[in-house]
Amino acid sequence: MMPIFSVIGHTKTGKTTIIRDIVRGLRSRDYKVAVIKHDPQDHGNVDREGSDTSVFFEEGSSAVVLSSASRLTIFRRVDEDTPPEDIIPLLGSVDCVILEGYKGWEYPKIEIWSAEKGEVKTNADLLMAIICHDVHEKSLLLTSRPKNISIFSIDELNNILDFIEEKVLRGSGKGGE
């Protein structure tokens, strides 16, 4: 199966920013990455300068798809939300798929956490890691979270990339066992 994980978090917590950084970082490590952005409210824009889809493409993602309840942006009309498994064959040759959103879906997750907004309600069994905004938030989380969930601050990009390589990409054919 294609390595896949979801980045979740409340609005304006930095999901797009960290995904941009992850795409750029994985590209620098010779991975081909695709991003699927979930748009459950059906209000996203595509290929508008500064839009998330435009930004992900500019950062070097091999493919970018915007998926919502009424459309799948490859300009194909749909009657319901399209599962990522149905989108992946359209992405071409990639090593990994990053989902932005899909918090209620059954995928491994990395949560962008903010003390101001609190945690996202999601299946805790699928939570692999939490990325917080600063070392103070990180120290709060380190004392309150289960030991099996990795905790990073947003400025630890190389550690985040190492974690993704080890937990998600290993065995995908690049740098894996």
Domains and CATH numbers, the chain: 4-169 (3.40.50.300)
Q: Which two tokens stand for residue 145?
A: 């979270």
d(CA 115, CA 30): 34
Residue type, 76: R
φ, ψ for residue 140 (rounded to 5)?
-60, -45
Give the count of alpha carbons within 13 A of 13, CB side only: 25
Count of other CB atoms within 10 angstroms of residue 143? 6
Task: Return the SS3 of 33.
Answer: strand
Torsion of CA 110, 115, 118, 124, to 10 degrees: 40
pLDDT tens track for 92-116: 889 999 999 888 888 999 999 887 7
- What is the residue type of 14? G
Residues 83, 35 contacting (CB under 8 angstroms) = no
The pTM score is 0.78
Greatest C-alpha distance within the chain: 47
Residue-level pLDDT, tens digit, the chain, 177 residues? 789 999 998 888 888 999 999 999 999 999 999 998 877 666 655 657 777 877 877 788 777 787 888 766 754 556 788 888 888 888 888 999 999 988 888 899 999 988 777 777 777 788 899 999 888 888 878 887 777 889 999 999 999 999 999 999 985 444 433
